[in-house]
Chain A
Amino acid sequence: MNSHSAHFYDIDEAVSLAKKLTSQGKAAIIGSDEPAPYVEFGSEFLKIEIEKFKNAKFSSDVPLKNVSVKDEETNTLATPSLRHIESEPEDFSKVSFDSWEKCLKWCNHVMGSSASFVIDSQGFIIGNYGRIPQEGLDGLGAELCYAIEMLDKISPGTGKLSWVDLEYEKMRIVGFQIPEEETYILGFISPGQTYFSKKIVVSQVVIRNLPDMG
């Protein structure tokens, strides 16, 4: 039994990965581009087969019978249907909100961000939603406000800057300056991969709802 060495269990790869994944070695992973020893599935394999899935029949559609539970009340409660998990395309013309809180929640959902925030014209954060970074947003908000002010000057005569995309090594920050008299900037931290295509929708819906937001 003593002959069972690490090599016997072929854990060299596990050792190498564990070294990289613990806090000290983690930096080596991000950006590393070592060839994988396995066949790589491209992202197209991860796409959900929506149509196939929509038409699937779920057992929760079938009435529950012969359910034996302690609490009689639970007998009557059907399991929630999973039929609608791929929702219908949202009609954005009907989206409305009357507060920054609701606005940020919606924007966060649409952009697929980990967090969203709004800055007033003075650079102060007046609302946020989502998973706020440990270091907070105050510094980020003020700097983003300042950066947009500076970037506005790059090309005079081309109108007000509306969107900025900042790609950092470990994070993406996207800012949207609402082109109205009273300037607000919406910020999105680590938006989802399809965020770019959502910019127009976010712009239109936010501008339309701006008069209703206190």
Chain B
Amino acid sequence: MKTEIISFISAKGGTGKTTSSLNFAVSMAEKGKKTIIIDTDPMGCIGFSLAQNDRQWQGLVERLIKKTPLKEVIVKTKLENLSILPRGRMSSSDVSAYERLLFSSDGLEEVLTELEKDYECIIIDTPSGMGMITTSVLAVSNFAVLVLQAEPLSLRTAAQTLSVVENTVKNRNNNLILLGILVTMVDTQNPVSKSVFSTISNSLPGIFETWIPRSTAFIEASEKGVPVSFLTGRRTTEMMRFSFLAEEIESRISDITGETGGQDEFPQRTLL
């Protein structure tokens, strides 16, 4: 079983990394891929997104510090193919120690080695900034997705994020590939947001065709502690966007690795 390790990164905070990675993970699982999302953000935002208390779940920290077996800290969801490896119970005062731990040990790589046996898709949510955690995550990922908010500040910091990816490819992980740039929080009613989106789309290579709008649906989902596609009511375009993104990402990976998915292979047939 070939496992794809995809990290969602961004130098700027609040661009929608957690929302994007979580909803993308849901879409991959709904497509039948055995998927796990790892929360490496010291704030534990995946847990917060799912309306869990800061100390509700054990997770990565327990695994790294107390050597708790992974099966005891992985959270199985009601979605058959989706699991979560939460941040774990950590005091916010220990963030710098946690960062150093991830950076200076090979704990994360060991965790991934174990997970690769059971999962086809490992998605890693990273904190904002390009510090020790993000660089450690990039060092063990196959692919990176840059999450870029359709706002001027985010666009102006894009080069910083990309240069860290470049440095990682040069010095720590030759196999890392930037899968693409996901534009989020596009506000079509706001001329500045529209302009930035247009600039991004026309200038930067590797932009995903799927973009994520600024929408109240995400706030509602966050308030209820569910992925956006789990909201009640009619399917909205916001709910479907991550399915499109999953299709697009799978297709890009197939193009890069030269592998075609089993479902794309059809036998020769005759009509008459």
A residues apposed to B, CB below 8 Å: 1-2, 4-6, 9-11, 13-15, 17-23, 26, 29-30, 32, 48, 53, 56, 58-60, 67, 69-71, 74, 77, 79-82, 84-86, 109, 112, 114, 129-131, 134, 170-171, 192
A18-B178, A30-B170 given; A134·B257 CB < 8 A: yes
The 14 sampled A-B contact pairs (Cβ below 8 Å) are A1-B192, A4-B196, A9-B152, A9-B156, A15-B204, A18-B206, A69-B55, A80-B88, A82-B94, A85-B100, A85-B105, A86-B104, A109-B110, A131-B109
Chain B residues with CB below 8 A from A53, complex form? 97, 100
Q: Mark B66-105, 1 if CB is under 8 A from A, else 0.
A: 1000000000000000000000111101100110110111
Contact in complex: B199, A6 (CB < 8 Å): yes
| Cβ of A206 to closest chain B Cβ, rounded Å | 19
A20 touches B66 (CB 8 A): no
With A9-B199, A80-B66 in contact, is A22–B89 under 8 Å at CB? no
Fill in one digit per residue for B156-170: 1 if any A CB lies within 8 Å of its CB, else 0: 101100110110011
Contact between chains at B65 and A81 (CB < 8 Å): yes
Partner among A17, A30, A79, A130 whose Cβ is within 8 Å of the Cβ of B162: A17
Chain A residues with CB under 8 A of B185? none
Q: Return the chain A residue nearest B178 by Cβ.
A: A21
Chain B contacts of A86 at CB under 8 A? 104
Residues of A within 8 A of B181 (CB): 18
Given A6-B199, A15-B203, A18-B205, A85 contacting B101 (CB threshold 8 A): yes
Say whether B2 contacts A79, CB under 8 Å.
Answer: no
User: Quick check: is B271 within 8 A (CB to CB) of the other chain?
Assistant: no
Asked if A74 and B180 make an inter-chain contact with CB atoms under 8 angstroms apart, the answer reads no
In contact, B195 and A69 (Cβ under 8 angstroms): no
Determine how close the nearest CB of chain A comes to the CB of B251; give it in whole angstroms: 12
Instruction: Assess whether A29 is in contact with B170, with CB atoms less than 8 Å apart.
Output: yes
Does B177 contact A26, Cβ atoms closer than 8 Å? yes
Q: Which residues of B contact A17 (CB under 8 A)?
A: 159, 162-163, 165-166
B192: min CB distance to chain A, Å: 7
Interface assignment of B191: CB less than 8 Å from any CB of chain A: yes
Q: Is the Cβ of A77 less than 8 Å from the Cβ of B89?
A: yes
B188 within 8 A of A: no
